[in-house]
Amino acid sequence: MTKGWLRKPSQQGKQMDQQQGSQPSSSKIERKTVEKNRRNQMKNLYSHLLSLLDNYDPKIPLPDKIDEAINYIKRQETKVKMAQEEKERLMKSKRRSSGCSSASEARGSLKPPKMKIHETGSSLEVILKCGVDDQFIFCELIRILHEDNVDVITVNSSMVGDSMLHVVRGEVPLSSFEFGGTKVSERLKWFANKFVSDVEMESELLWDFDIGTTETWGLLDPALHQGLPPNPL
């Protein structure tokens, strides 16, 4: 009976014991491999991080190197933000400049106001051609005539293309004559002579007037209506 209980372990039992003994060893190797890979990855990350720095002392402890790299990244972020703000500011300035340039070009493309003065004796005729938005010039013309006591007989206004054509006829009082000319004529010429033009008004725009004198054309400066000479009367 005693010998029966002391039988040798079977081959299957030996294999199971070997497998159980090898499991802890395999897990340990896997953990070491994972840790090794992690360390290598961190080493590569540190190396890449420190490569961002222009100059750094290899003797500095790693935590200090990391802090220096973090500060460098923050400084770069600040520079990028400032560059973006500057870009936006320049873009806005460019848009404003482009808008002003377009407005200036559009304004420059408009025909400047023109005035033509006819005098025969006491008869006065003024032809004014100006833009629709320049009607203050016509009002200033009427004001000058009124201040010089000119008896306005007729005023004819018509739309010609994108401009207004005003023809004003009046009688100048004898008291206004001075050295062969009239004071009102001098004021009107002063109003028109800042930019003298030799351009004649197109024949189809002119009315058939029999009054003939020296023709004076002038480009009207809108700022002149603020600085007209005082009425000499």
Residue spans per domain, the chain: 29-79, 114-194
Which tokens go with 221?
Answer: 């400066």
In tens, the pLDDT along 108-155 reads 445 678 888 888 888 889 998 888 877 788 888 888 888 888 889 999
Distance CA 191, CA 229 (A): 9
Average pLDDT over residues 179-185: 63
Give the phi and the psi of residue 191 in degrees, each rounded to 5.
-65, -30
3-state secondary structure of 53: coil
pLDDT at 197 > cutoff 50: no
What is the predicted pLDDT for the residue at 168? 92
Tell the CATH topology of 114-194. Answer: Alpha-Beta Plaits (3.30.70)
pTM of the predicted structure, to 2 decimals: 0.39
Given this model, what pLDDT does residue 196 score? 39
pLDDT bucket at 203, cuts 50 / 70 / 90:
very low
Q: For residue 71, which of 88, 59, 53 has the smallest C-alpha distance?
A: 53
Least confident of 2-16, 93-107, 207-221: 207-221
pLDDT attached to residue 143 = 86
Could you give the C-alpha distances from 229 to 172, 190, 233, in angstroms and in order?
18, 8, 12
Instruction: Give me 18's structure tokens.
Output: 């070997």
